[in-house]
Amino acid sequence: MSDAPDPREVDPAVVKRAFGRAAATYDASAVLQREVGRRLAARLDVVRLEPARVLDIGCGTGEATAELVARYPRAHVVGLDLAWPMARAASDRLGRGRSLYRRLLAPLAGDGGSNAHVVCGDALALPLSGVCVDLVFSNLALQWVNDLPRAFAEMRRVLRVGGLATFTTFGPDTLRELRAAFARADGHTHVGRFADMHDVGDMLVRAGFADPVMDAETFCLEYPSPRALMLDLRAIGATNATRGRPRALTGKGRMARVYRELERMMRDSRLPATFEVVYGHAWKGEPRATDAGLPIVKLERRPR
């Protein structure tokens, strides 16, 4: 049995570099990320939760972080990103108060935004002490994590009992057009591994979360050319970070074959790009076992 890593896994160092380079171009191209983040945040409208501390994992340039500050003006909001340039951009956004909601509600918050800050860190090793967060929010970041069960375990570790984890990630149908085009061009991996919605739900249960709710929806973005799609992905940092990627520069001949395959998929001069978005929502319930795996038995004295 081979111990070789799955070629579809991502190289964290490559991910970090790619998103660091994309910090200056991300906002102009992150149309899908912005819309999905808005939809994820809207789901909080029906949640009865007044968090004292909120954690935004994979905060990028901080747009969602700023909206969380506006939504929960009494909470301490922490944005976290793996790439330092992204974290710095998020910190700058919070400092300038670019969010419209934040500008409108800052007077009600009292301190005008000192209740938020950004840190550079890894979702697999959150730089927070345990049991200190009431809400974990993560929009389209977990697809860049190889070990999803560990990421969920970290979320649960920092959540208080009764706290909520809400997130989005990409499902298996994401960029199926690009995957098919490259498969006909060479034998390397060019699109990452995306977890199935049902598998993600099972991971949440195994991590100790209660009442997980999973659903998905499909978005189809259209581009005027294959080159426009590739440039858009690069602008948001979504480059090929798989371990099975080609180690040399992709030659002109190979890219020409990929572009031809993508052009065959065009309809009415538009190239479709499919994105399957998985939504997850789960609560941290009372622990049923100790860290050593021993069951916890609660004894209650009956009133006389």
DSSP state of 303: P
Q: Tell me, which fold does domain 12-170+195-216+277-284 have in CATH?
A: Rossmann fold (3.40.50)
Residues 116, 95: Cα–Cα separation, whole Å: 9
Residue 112: its pLDDT value, please?
A: 46
Cβ-based burial of 268 (10 A; exposed 0-12, middle 13-18, buried ≥19): exposed
DSSP state of 4: P
Residue 114: its pLDDT value, please?
A: 58
Residues 143/192, Cβ–Cβ less than 8 Å: yes
Residues 252/258, Cβ–Cβ less than 8 Å: no
Structure token pair of residue 187 = 């034998």
pTM of the model: 0.88
Helices (H), 159-271: 176-183, 197-206, 226-235, 252-264
Q: How many residues are present in the chain?
A: 304
Residue 109: its pLDDT value, please?
A: 47
Structure token pair of residue 174 = 């994401």
Residues 91/62, Cβ–Cβ less than 8 Å: yes
Structure token pair of residue 46 = 């029906």
Strand order across the beta sheet in which 159-170 lies = 116-120, 76-81, 53-57, 133-138, 159-170, 271-284, 209-223
Residue 1: its pLDDT value, please?
A: 47
Residue 26: its pLDDT value, please?
A: 98
Please provide the DSSP assignment of 115-163 as one string. TEEEEE-BTTB-SS-SS-EEEEEE-S-GGG-S-HHHHHHHHHHHEEEEE
The percent helix, strand, coil of the chain (3-state, each to 5) is 40, 25, 35
Residue 99: its pLDDT value, please?
A: 47
- The one-digit pLDDT tens for each residue of the chain (304 residues) are 456 678 889 999 999 999 999 999 999 999 999 999 999 999 999 999 999 999 999 999 999 999 999 999 999 999 999 999 999 999 999 998 744 544 555 555 444 445 899 999 999 999 999 999 999 999 999 999 999 999 999 999 999 999 999 999 999 999 999 999 998 887 678 888 899 999 999 999 999 999 999 999 999 999 999 999 999 999 999 998 898 887 655 566 788 999 999 999 999 999 999 999 999 999 998 766 655 556 655 555 666 6
With a CB cutoff of 8 Å and minimum separation 6, the contacts of 49 are 134, 135, 164
Domain edges within the chain = 12-170+195-216+277-284
Helix (H) or strand (E) holding 167: strand 159-170
Residue 7: its pLDDT value, please?
A: 81
